[in-house]
């Protein structure tokens, strides 16, 4: 396939790109600085001024671009988080509109933050009511922008990512640091849910979405075994053979991180019902397996 991808040089995007080129797909990666990249037989870097006429027939479009959520959420930061996602998604939709032959599938990044935050509810893709917090608002608007691809007759997937567990990026290095420094423990009361997924399973699930033509709409990119924060940290301490004793109150994170602290002190149980219904096979369905892999590899 010829695949157009944004965010293909980031933590997750680079791993997905490596996997897809390994499957002999040809990738066209949109980046702000294509002149700083080197093209290969399977990778072509293009700028965000690329037009449809400058591309071959594109079979699939994957949208992973957007300002990082990490960092103090000032008013300017929040505006950038939202506008960076809407701007790129709007550009891609316009690009697909201009294509004489439309792509077969559009996979647009989103987040389980769509559902809002709760310690009690289990959210599946059948949950249609978004939350009311900032991140829920961002994901709702992001998905609304992407939904215009459906009007073009393109199979559209809203990839609602949970917490990506990987050694060299994502949330895990920050989450595991207290454990490795012998100061591990849960955050706040530890009751908040963490809907996690090993990065390799996330790569495989996005690839699965490219290949399975009945998969569409919202798809939770999560493992089938979410954990409460206290259980996640306890398991991490066991795997790394470290103590699990320091429990930090929520106020500490709000004082140091501002509104972004809600990503740590609150959460949601996002169950990957569609992936399981479509018989997707996880390499790391349990947290034990995922953490042992990250420790040993």
pLDDT, tens digit (0-9, with 9 covering 90-100), for 179-210: 766 666 788 888 999 999 999 999 999 999 99
Within 8 A by CB and 6+ apart from 189, the residues are: 230
Tokens representing residue 247 in the block: 């429990």
**pLDDT greater at residue 252 or residue 223:** 223
Average pLDDT, stretch 48-54? 96
Which of the four pLDDT bands, split at 50, 70 and 90, describes residue 261?
Answer: confident
- Of the listed ranges 79-83, 234-238, 277-281, the least confidently predicted one is 234-238
Q: How far apart (Å, rounded) are the C-alpha atoms in residues 53 and 209?
A: 27
Q: Which pLDDT value is given to residue 263? A: 84
pLDDT, tens digit (0-9, with 9 covering 90-100), for 112-123: 999 999 999 999
Asked if 160 contacts 110 with a C-beta cutoff of 8 angstroms, the reply is: yes
Residue ranges with strand state E in the chain: 2-6, 26-30, 43-46, 60-63, 105-111, 122-123, 155-161, 163-166, 169-170, 193-194, 196-198, 217-221, 227-228, 269-270
How many Cβ atoms from other residues are within 10 Å of residue 225's Cβ?
18
CA dihedral 52, 90, 7, 34 (to 10 degrees): 40
Q: Is the model's pLDDT at 245 over the cut of 80?
A: no
pLDDT, tens digit (0-9, with 9 covering 90-100), for 69-100: 888 899 999 999 999 999 999 999 999 999 99
Q: How far apart (Å, rounded) are the C-alpha atoms in residues 142 and 296?
A: 37
Cα 149 to Cα 88, 157, 158: the distances in Å are: 13, 10, 11
pTM of the entire structure? 0.94
Q: How far apart (Å, rounded) are the C-alpha atoms in residues 7 and 141?
A: 19
Within 8 A by CB and 6+ apart from 39, the residues are: 45
Tokens representing residue 27 in the block: 């990738």
Tokens representing residue 131 in the block: 């939350």
User: Is beta strand 60-63 parallel, antiparallel or unpaired with respect to 105-111?
Assistant: parallel
Q: Which pLDDT value is given to residue 89? A: 98
Average pLDDT, stretch 228-248? 85
DSSP states along 194-237: E-EEEHHHHHHHHHHHHH-TT--EEEEES-S--EEHHHHHHHHH
């Amino acid at each position: 396939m010829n695949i157009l991808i944004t965010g293909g040089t980031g933590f997750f995007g680079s791993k997905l790109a490596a996997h897809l080129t390994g499957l002999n797909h040809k990738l066209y990666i949109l980046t702000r600085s294509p002149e700083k990249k080197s093209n290969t037989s399977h990778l072509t870097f293009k700028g965000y001024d690329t037009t449809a006429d400058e591309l071959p027939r594109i079979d699939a479009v994957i949208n992973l671009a957007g300002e990082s959520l990490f960092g103090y959420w000032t008013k300017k930061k929040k505006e950038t988080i939202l506008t960076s996602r809407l701007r790129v998604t709007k550009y891609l939709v316009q690009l697909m509109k201009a294509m004489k032959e439309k792509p077969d599938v559009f996979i647009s990044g989103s987040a389980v933050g769509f559902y809002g935050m709760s310690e009690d509810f289990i959210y599946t893709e059948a949950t249609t009511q978004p939350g009311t917090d900032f991140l829920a608002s961002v994901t709702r608007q992001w998905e609304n922008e992407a939904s215009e691809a459906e009007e073009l007759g393109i199979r559209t997937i809203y990839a609602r990512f949970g917490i990506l567990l990987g050694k060299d990026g994502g949330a895990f290095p920050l989450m595991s640091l207290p454990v490795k420094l012998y100061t591990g423990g849960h955050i706040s009361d530890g009751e908040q849910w963490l809907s996690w997924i090993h990065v390799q399973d996330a790569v495989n699930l996005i690839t699965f979405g490219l290949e399975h033509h009945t998969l569409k709409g919202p798809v939770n990119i999560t493992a089938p075994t979410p954990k409460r924060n206290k259980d996640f940290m306890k398991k991490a301490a066991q795997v790394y053979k470290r103590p699990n004793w320091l429990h930090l109150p929520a106020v500490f994170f709000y004082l140091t991180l501002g509104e972004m602290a809600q990503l740590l002190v609150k959460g949601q149980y996002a169950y990957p019902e569609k992936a399981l219904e479509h018989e997707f096979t996880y390499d790391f369905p349990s947290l034990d397996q995922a953490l042992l892999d990250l420790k040993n590899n």
